[in-house]
Homo-oligomer: A and B are copies of this chain.
Amino acid sequence: MNNRVHNFSAGPSALPTEVLQEMQESLLSYRGCGMSVMEMSHRGDLFMEIIEEARTRIKRLYNLSSEYEVLFVQGGASLQFAMIPMNFIGEGEKADYIETGTWSTKAIAEARIQNKGVRIAATSKAIDFTGIPTALDLSPDAPFVHVTTNNTIRGTQWHTLPETGNVPLIADMSSDILSRPMDTSRFGMIYAGAQKNMGPAGTAVVILKKEMLKKIPATLPTMLSYRTYVEKESMFNTPATFPIYAISLVTKWLEETMGGLIAMETINHRKADQLYGCIDEDDFYAGTAVRESRSLMNVTFRIRDHALEPIFIERALKAGLAGLKGHKSVGGLRASIYNAVSEGSVGALCDFMDDFRREHR
């Protein structure tokens, strides 16, 4: 598309160009109604249709049963880190958290700040979070097991979710939601900030099993109780209407253009295989994650000669490849290849990497 860069940002990140075009066309008048989606009452028919479409498409994409509710909550995954223990860890209970990097560490911290019971059921801290832990020490009495399905900073991902028996899984899927089919029946809750695979920043999507509502204390602040979002259909107050509109368009694109999650997963595998293949070709580049934990969403790597990395980033940007700098806490390089990053963009990156290698070998 004219002047669009190949966007490998870790989040906020690329949106499908078709989605942006549709937003652009309707920005001053949505479906001829004479106002922007940003300007309309969230309780009017037009917006009610939009939020219902976003909800319905997410339910359909994941084949969610009627036991699940789809909620829109502001504050990103970070507010979820606080709400989860507040809502679901009762007096005397200990929740099992699996520690796989910065984001799960932050989730654990928010439970501890509230003096809630927490057990670390597994951690990959010893290998600096470059892999997913294999030995899990789960308690059958835990109210839930918390897992971060994809770790943006180190570029690791759970490819098979842990067996937790009757204990519900709660998963932070901020960086891989809707990127692959999922047996959702195992989850008590799935949550994700929108700004990686679903839309612009401003809302988190929460998929909640209704059974979980029983755990919630009666006296939480209204905006911090999941019960409010279920009872008021995410409309206790004005939700982030424009981000929700974007989610309705992105999920429509996922269903109607990409063909659903099975097709999307195939494409995501193809993109990741191509990029890891390019990295593994020789020892000029090196992936930083343990091979069997490599993420399909965030491909983290280094150049053997680290001094070349700033040159790589600068030259890539000039070639129209943006967002390739690794997270500041670990350095190196990272290409985030979420759903909206096309195979064409990944191909362009691989070509650039091949050229760069040839020049600097």
Interface residues of A (CB under 8 A from B): 1, 3-5, 7, 9-15, 17, 20-21, 23-24, 27-29, 32-36, 38-42, 44, 74-79, 81-82, 86, 109-110, 113-114, 193, 195, 199-203, 219-224, 236-243, 246, 320, 322-323
Contacts and interface: CB of A to CB of B under 8 A. Distances in A.
9 contacts: A5-B33, A7-B35, A7-B39, A74-B202, A76-B237, A76-B238, A113-B219, A195-B241, A242-B243
Contact of A79 (B10, B39, B40, B75): B75
Contacts of A220: 113
A102 to B, nearest CB: 12
A315 B194 CA distance: 40
A126 to B, nearest CB: 26
Nearest to A323: B41
Contact of A12 (B11, B193, B238): B238
Contacts of A15: 36, 38-39
Identify the interface centre among A1, A39, A41, A320: most chain B CB within 10 Å of its CB: A39
A221 B24 contact: no
**Number of chain copies forming the complex:** 2
A12 B32 contact: no
A201 B5 CA distance: 28
A143 to B, nearest CB: 18
A116 B24 CA distance: 46
Contacts of A77: 237
A193 B74 contact: no
Given A7-B35, A24-B28, A34-B320, 10 more contacts: A4-B28, A4-B34, A9-B40, A12-B241, A15-B36, A20-B27, A76-B238, A81-B223, A110-B221, A113-B222
A4 B34 CA distance: 4
A35 B32 CA distance: 27
A76 B74 contact: yes
B12 A38 contact: yes
A86 B40 CA distance: 32
A42 B74 CA distance: 17
Contacts of A200: 38-39, 240-242
